[in-house]
Amino acid sequence: MHHLYNDPWYVEVNMDSAAIVWPLFNSLQAFWPGLQVLAGDIDPAIRTHTAFFSVWKRYGFTPEGFNLATLSVQHGQKSYPLRPELIESTYWLYKATRDARYLDVGRDIVASLQYGARCPCGYCHISDVENHKREDHMESFFLAETVKYLWLLFDLAVGPDNLVENGPYKYIFSTEGHLFPATPQISLLQEHCSYFGAYCSHGNLKEDPCASDKSADSQETNGNRVSEGRVRTEFPLDSSSFESSPVSGLIKGLCTGLTHAQKYGISYPASVDAPSEDDSAKQNDNVAQGHAVVVFSDQIANQSLSGDSNDDNVKESSEMESEREPERDPSQS
């Protein structure tokens, strides 16, 4: 903000002297107002976004480079490869301000894409924003980011009834527009079994043990109690790695205390309680306590346990007698 910001534009400067070396608006800069919104700098974000969108209004698209000295498209940077950065900032500004003008911006962007970039099999790369010459090419980020941010913009205008705005988890957008839930799959070291995938704290091990290799000992690491041992992940993480890693590092584990619906934020209708796995396991253990495997018919299976135990004694005694009986010589028969 001190060396690059020339309200409302940003320029490129010499890294040693901070002297301006390139008065150019690059289309990738359009992500910056959205980042400013996340940092709380709303006013400069509004002014910069307005300047960036004026370039879009002038050509119908943003060129890869716009010369701020000549106020014209930079030579050799006339294309628009369906980039999402300006739309991303539009979404964040609308989310922060609820100003309807950003819906108008989104409408103009959709109109430009529909009438200038629409092709029989998708949306075409614009090779020259001045004459709207199209090229038979569509980048994958058009679907992953450009269209996604447009959808989020207009869906938010209708209401927050979607997974991103009102879902069970908070989401982090990657630089490529991918949505990572803050839970269940990623969590911080100091978090515990309330998050699926978190490294469980020592206090939860007694009531809700996790599917990870841990010893009974524990130690203090940066003011947080963590258990020694390894988490069952693709990479072994012993206690020494916890000591050398910062608390804010991401540790992947597996906690078994949550249901499938809680793990993935899915709501299921109420259903009749089914017998738990522990009860069924106990029943299987009772059946498997005999000395030999015996196949029962339906009638025998319905008999009482006492009757079954008597039958087992008879079967075992008969088997022992048959083992003591000598084998007959075939020549004597």
**Which are the catalytic amino acids?**
64
What's the CA gap between 47 and 278, in Å, rounded?
Answer: 62
CB 195 within 8 A of CB 187: yes
What's the CA gap between 333 and 331, in Å, rounded?
Answer: 6
Report CA torsion sign: 190, 195, 199, 201: positive
Q: What are the tokens at 79?
A: 């294309």
Question: Which CA distances in Å does 189 have to 78, 91, 182, 241, 296?
Answer: 47, 32, 13, 12, 52
DSSP state of 332: G
Question: Which CA distances in Å does 133 have to 76, 125, 216, 293?
Answer: 14, 9, 68, 78
Report CA torsion sign: 84, 89, 95, 100: negative
3-state secondary structure of 266: coil
Q: What are the tokens at 133?
A: 């010459």
Treating both helix axes as pointing N-terminal to C-terminal, what angle do 147-158 and 85-97 enclose, rounded to 10 degrees? 20
User: Which residues sit in the known binding site for Ca(2+)?
Assistant: 175
User: Which residues sit in the known binding site?
Assistant: 175
- Number of C-alpha atoms within 13 angstroms, CB side, residue 11? 15
Question: Closest Cα partner for 156 from 205, 100, 199, 201?
Answer: 100
Residue 209 zone, left/alpha/beta (φ > 0; ψ -120 to 50; rest): beta
Treating both helix axes as pointing N-terminal to C-terminal, what angle do 85-97 and 32-39 enclose, rounded to 10 degrees? 30
Residue-wise over 202-219: b if at least 16 C-beta within 10 A, else e?
Answer: bebbeeeebebebeeebe
